[in-house]
Each structure stands twice: as C-alpha cells, then as structure tokens.
C-alpha cells in the first residue's frame, strides 16, 4: 500500500511540476502594415512553440498551452497584410493553434526574447515582393519621313556684295541743265561740245 501511495504521490508531483513549468500566454499585440506585420506574444514562463506555413497566405502558430484564448477571432480591415487571427485545430491536446490569414503571399519568422521570467515571441511576417510589371507591349510603327516644304525661290546672291550693302538712288536733283557752248572750227563747221 505504501508503494501505491508513493507512486500516486510521485505522479501527482510530476503533473504539478509540469503544469507549473508550462508557459502561459499573457498578451497578444499586432502591428499590421500593408507589406509587413509583427505579432508579439507575451508569456509568463518559457514557451514552446512552432511556426508552420499552411500555403502562402496562412501561417499557423502552435503554442504548448491548454485552455482557450479569449478575444478571437481578430479581424483587420483596410490595406493590411494580416486579414485575421483566429483559433485553429491544435495538433495535440496540450497545444493551442493560432491561425493567421494573410491578404497577400508572405513568409513568417519568429524570434524569442527573455526578460527575467517573462518571454516574448515576435513573429514577423513579410509580404513576398510583387513580381515586376510586364514590359510594355512593343508597338512597331513605320516612321514616315517628314515632307519638307520647298523654300520660295530667291534671287541668286551676288558674291561681291555684302548682305548689308545698300543701293542709293537719286530721284531728284537741284542742278539746272545748261546748254553747252559750241566750238567752231576754222572751216565753219561745228564740232562737238566744248567745256
């Protein structure tokens, strides 16, 4: 009988130590953007967790803890990477599963930090880079040579005359005309003019 009581006492002690050593989720915070989201889980005690990617738009967080997480589902509106956080079917009876639904394809990574007896696990989810835009369609156009309008004909340029050379013309004169005196020769003929 003492043997049975001792075994029962050891089993109870192991069970109590296991419960005392299990971490419990104390807080969940979400920082949500259109290309990156950060989910911070705060624990009392060191957590055991696993991250699995169920497709490109779903991330599952398995946490070794029993019970129910209050306040789920969390639904996000607007242009955010995380669409919702909800409870999922856990992989075993000692775990809880958080399912994160994404609006775009993304990848998750986790970092655990310790502060005394408290721990935080920061899940960073980054959207996949969008594919480059397709190149613009190639449009082949026939290039037409422009029609050059003929220049009006100009008179040929005098190579001995500068472009700014002016022609001066007299249109009226104040000089009076006078008849010239005639010269006579000895024979009596009139010959030309004399000056």
Tell me if 77 is assigned to some domain. Answer: yes
Q: Which pTM does this prediction carry?
A: 0.56
Cα distances (angstroms) measured from residue 66 to each of 18, 47, 76: 12, 12, 26
Q: Which domain holds residue 52?
A: 21-127
Q: What total of structural domains would you count in the chain?
A: 1
**Spatial contact of 43 and 25, defined as CB atoms under 8 Å apart:** yes
Can you name the residues that pair with 99 across neighbouring β-strands? Answer: 60, 86
Tell me the pLDDT tens digit for each residue of 151-185: 666 666 666 666 666 665 656 656 555 555 555 55
Distance CA 69, CA 27 (A): 10
| CB within 8 Å of 80: residues ≥ 6 apart | 32, 33, 34, 37, 103
Q: What is the dihedral of CA 73, 76, 82, 85, to 10 degrees?
A: -10
- CATH for 76: 2.60.40.3500
Tell me if 194 is assigned to some domain. Answer: no
Tell me if 102 is assigned to some domain. Answer: yes
Tell me the pLDDT tens digit for each residue of 114-138: 998 899 999 999 998 877 888 888 7
Tell me if 123 is assigned to some domain. Answer: yes
């Amino acid at each position: 009988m003492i043997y049975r009581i001792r075994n029962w006492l050891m089993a109870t002690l192991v069970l109590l130590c296991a419960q005392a050593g299990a971490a419990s989720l104390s807080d969940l915070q979400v920082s949500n953007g259109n290309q990156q989201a950060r989910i911070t889980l705060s624990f009392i005690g060191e957590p055991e967790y696993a991250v699995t990617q169920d497709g490109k738009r779903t991330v599952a967080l398995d946490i070794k803890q029993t019970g129910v997480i209050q306040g789920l589902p969390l639904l996000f509106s607007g242009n955010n990477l995380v669409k919702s956080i909800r409870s999922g079917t856990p992989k075993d009876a000692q775990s809880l599963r958080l399912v994160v639904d994404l609006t775009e394809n993304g990848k998750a990574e986790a970092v655990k930090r310790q502060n005394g007896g408290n721990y935080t696990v920061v899940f960073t989810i980054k959207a996949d880079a969008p594919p480059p835009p397709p190149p613009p369609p190639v449009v082949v156009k026939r290039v037409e040579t422009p029609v050059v309008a003929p220049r009006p004909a100009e008179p040929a340029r005098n190579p001995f005359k500068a472009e700014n050379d002016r022609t001066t013309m007299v249109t009226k004169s104040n000089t009076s005309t006078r008849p010239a005196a005639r010269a006579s020769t000895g024979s009596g003929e009139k010959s030309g003019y004399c000056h």
